[in-house]
Amino acid sequence: MTASIATSQTILVVGGGIGGMTAALEAAECGKQVILVERNATLGGRTALLYRYFPKMCHPTCGMEINLRRLKGNRNVRVMTMTEVLEVSGVRGDYTVKLKLSPRYVNANCTACGECAKAVETEIDNPYEYNLAKTRAAYLPHNMAYPMHYVLDPSIIGTADAEKARAACKYDAIELDMQEEIVEIKAGAIVWATGWKPYDAAKIQPYGYDRFANVITSVEFERFANPHGPTGGKLLRPSDGKEAKNIAFIQCAGSRDENHLRHCSRICCMASLKQTHYVREAYGDDAKSTIYYIDIRVIDRLEDFYLKVQQDPTVSFIKSKVAKIVEDKAGNPVLHGVDTEGYHRYATTHDLVVLAVGMEPETRGIKLPDDMLLDSSGFIEGSNLPAGVEGIYGAGAATSPLDVNRSVQSATAAALRAIQVVHKTSTVEGVR
């Protein structure tokens, strides 16, 4: 006997980075109703904060623009920013999801004219610059923000600054009495694309990220290289603003380490190889990049990129995991260790150290639906439920350390699975 059951046909996508956007768009372009929720004030996630992609060295703004174009041209996706999932209950075909909507204090009237930012005096650390720069407390996350609306930092609500912002707005876009809201929605299938976060480099004690100004992370280096970043695209080191021409890249900063992240983060080798291009482009033959590595893990066709970097005389490779960093009197980081090709002890001075930090799944620290199965690193492996009953799928870097390309593939696969779920559950389903 079979029976029709009333269900929700909506697909919920959690996370609006490159993976979540892709999953939402793929499903929506197949005609499904999609709700895309994002915790931050804009879509784009960590991808939008990169300067360039490997291996083609193109700019993420380009890919972002294509995706935003698709999004604007599609009626099936509803985007909810500043929204977090509090709780998921129910079964596939019939999930109830409790969402928390944080107030943006800016409504859809906003034209991104920027008058509110001029009026506000308070400055906050800019999270979209990894806190390397300050921004006014009324700000646009970044140039590719979606929705293209300003946001007020909650810290100024109730102060004179907030009133100034409201007074400056010509479009009645600022609503200072917006409140946090809890809403419940129905969904038939869920794609979980919460992505990753850079591993907290301060936990790698011998590298002194929290003690030495000139030890930075790879994601911060992306911001330094970016013309819209805190240094206007110049590779200047934080301690004294000197040009950083002699840069050390330390691989496996946190990855492949039982004391930190036990998995290989997979992208960091390519990321550092890519970043040697930034150094070379900035300083030509005066550039000096040194990559300290255990193994260079570049996969399949990306090997070509590695071979090209090897040809570059400004880039050298040292097979050694750096044991510790100390700072000399001039503020230069000095790297200590023993190399594996000859077992030579070295103490090498550089202008700047870039830690190729590992990818930690964002699933650590947020509440997940109960039936989600995680691996020992916290990446989504699958479902606790038997095959054919599950309705929540991981996508992108929430499932494994993936680069943008593979994240998109993974998201497309997850979208297809979610579509199958709403197909099956909304029509006829065998009674078990």
For other proteins, the binding residues (CB under 8 A) are 206, 252, 256-260, 294-295, 319-324, 336-340, 343, 345
Which of residues 320 and 425 has its CB atom nearest to other proteins in the complex?
Answer: 320
* Amino acid type, 39: R
Cis peptide before 147 (omega within 30 of 0): yes
- Whichever of 231 and 290 has its CB closer to other proteins, that residue is 290
- Residue 198 or 358: the one with the smaller Cβ distance to other proteins is 358
CA–CA gap between residue 273 and residue 172 (Å, rounded) = 48
- Output the six-digit token pair for 189: 């299938």
Range list of β-strands (E), 144-238: 151-152, 181-187, 189-192, 196-198, 215-217
Helix axes 60-72, 18-29, angle to 10 degrees: 30
Identity of the residue, 161 or 360, whose beta carbon is nearer to other proteins in the bound complex: 360
DSSP-H helix ranges across 284-426: 303-311, 404-426
Nearest to 78 by CA among 187, 196, 192, 194: 187
Element (H, E) at 336: strand 333-338
Nearer to other proteins, 295 or 328 (CB): 295
* Cβ 296 to other proteins shortest distance, Å: 13
CA angle 223, 227, 233 (to 5 degrees): 70
**8 Å CB contact between 271 and 46:** no
> Min. distance of Cβ 262 from other proteins in angstroms?
9
Choice between 48 and 355, CB closer to other proteins = 355
- Half-sphere exposure of residue 4, counting CA atoms within 13 Å on the CB side? 4
Residue with tokens 């929506």: 28
Q: How far is the CB of 279 from other proteins (least distance, A)?
A: 24
- Taking alpha carbons only, the member of 67, 30, 79, 21 closest to residue 419 is 30
- Written as one string, the DSSP assignment of 154-196 is GGGTTSHHHHHHHHH-SSS-B-TT---EEEEEEESEEEE---E
CA atoms within 13 Å, Cβ hemisphere of 163: 3
Q: Helix (H, G, I), strand (E, B), or coil: what is residue 56?
A: coil
Instruction: For residue 35, give the 3-state DSSP assignment.
Output: strand
Q: Which is nearer to other proteins, 156 or 359 (CB)?
A: 359
Q: How far is the CB of 301 from other proteins (least distance, A)?
A: 25
To the nearest whole angstrom, how small is the minimum distance from the Cβ of residue 342 to other proteins?
A: 10
**Tokens 């992505």 found at:** 195
For other proteins, the closer of residues 156 and 356 by Cβ is 356
| Comparison of 345 and 364: residue with beta carbon closer to other proteins | 345
Q: Is 371 helix (H, G, I), strand (E, B) or coil?
A: coil
In whole angstroms, how far apart are CA 297 and each of 132, 276, 410?
A: 29, 16, 20
CA distances from 143 to 60, 151, 168, 246 (A): 12, 13, 21, 31
d(CA 352, CA 329): 14
Considering beta carbons, is residue 2 or 376 the nearer one to other proteins?
376
- 325/408 with CB nearer other proteins: 325
